[in-house]
Amino acid sequence: MKVGAVVITMGNRPEELRALLDSVAKQDGDRVEVVVVGNGSPVPDVPAGVRTVELPENLGIPGGRNVGIEAFGPGGRDVDILLFLDDDGLLARTDTAELCRQAFAADPELGIISFRIADPDTGETQRRHVPRLRASDPMRSSRVTTFLGGANAVRTRVFADVGGLPDEFFYAHEETDLAWRALDAGWMIDYRSDMVLYHPTTAPSRHAVYHRMVARNRVWLARRNLPAPLVPVYLGVWLLLTLLRRPSRPALKAWFGGFREGWGSPCGPRRPMKWRTVWRLTRLGRPPVI
């Protein structure tokens, strides 16, 4: 199976980007073709053979990754598998691409693989990087209902079936939107603890737009994908959880601003999932109300 990789960059981490590209070049088996997308910025120097695309403006994370997908032909069809890797990450092992080939070849229903993210110094995996509710054991691989955006592999037939990432989200929850659409189309998602991307431990709130985007896109996610009776339940649960976490006053203000924006702005096409998909999500341990 042919494997490609998409990396988006703002051009501000040239050393980390070079280290990531070196780790991709060291993968066992056939060469992994790489496209680096400069998301509104020039692409730093890259090794020979790495293709680059420089965008005149920042399209956001999903928009930038969609450009990378199309660099491999419509819907990425020139390859069978696409890796999506953060530009400050590093593949910990040389067999990750080969493990992806084996996993997709062995399971025709498998559409997406979520890698384990580990701190390069401590080896620790944060709970938020384990894409399931029971996240206490990051070393346990399992079927899941979503995946990590900067450390994953996607069978390109998924894009042919359900389309790409939602451009309008810009940042936050775009992976879950794609995951729900893939599950609704019959694909499955695995979390694999043996496929590791080293990435420094960070807090998602380091992004200035975090609280607003998280709230707005949570509303969009529900409006686009959930059966109508579940929309208020899902959003009500997340409102309660947000309040229980007792964010700071400025954070809460930004969150409510994003929540209002999510209701008052276009969210893209609405394609509610089938009720059998709701049941599938429930059986996988995460009903779509949380």
pLDDT 10s digits, 106-132:
999 999 999 999 999 999 999 999 999
For residue 98, what is the enclosing H or E element? helix 96-106
Distance CA 214, CA 255 (A): 7
Distance CA 173, CA 268 (A): 14
**Res 209: pLDDT:** 85
Both tokens of residue 103? 């996993």
Residue 167: C-alpha distances to residues 32, 40, 58 (Å): 26, 15, 11
- Mean pLDDT across the stretch 15-42? 98
Percentage of residues in the chain with pLDDT exceeding 90?
96
pLDDT band per the 50, 70, 90 thresholds, residue 203? confident
- What pLDDT sits at residue 202? 79
Mean pLDDT, the chain, whole residue set: 96
The answer to whether residue 290 scores a pLDDT higher than 90 is: no
Q: Burial level of 29, CB count in 10 A (0-12/13-18/19+)? A: middle
Indicate whether 206 pLDDT > 60.
Answer: no
Per-residue confidence (pLDDT) for residue 205, from 0 to 100: 59
- Tell me if 167 sits within 8 A of 77, measured CB to CB: no
**Nearest alpha-carbon partner for 38 in 54, 15, 60:** 54
Rounded average pLDDT over 262-286: 97
Structure confidence at residue 263 as a pLDDT band (50, 70, 90): very high
pLDDT tens track for 9-27: 999 999 999 999 999 999 9
Residue 208 is predicted with a pLDDT of 60
Closest CA to 116 of 201, 193, 189: 193
Torsion sign (Cα): 273, 62, 206, 7? positive
Nearest to 193 by CA among 93, 102, 58, 47: 93
pLDDT at residue number 207? 55
DSSP 270: -
pLDDT band at 174 (very low <50, low <70, confident <90, very high): very high
Phi/psi of residue 230, each to 5°? -90, -15
52-80 pLDDT per residue, tens: 999 999 999 999 999 999 999 999 999 99
pLDDT tens-digit map of 222-250: 999 999 999 999 999 999 999 999 999 99
Provide the pLDDT confidence category of residue 154 given band limits of 50, 70 and 90: very high
pLDDT, position 74: 97
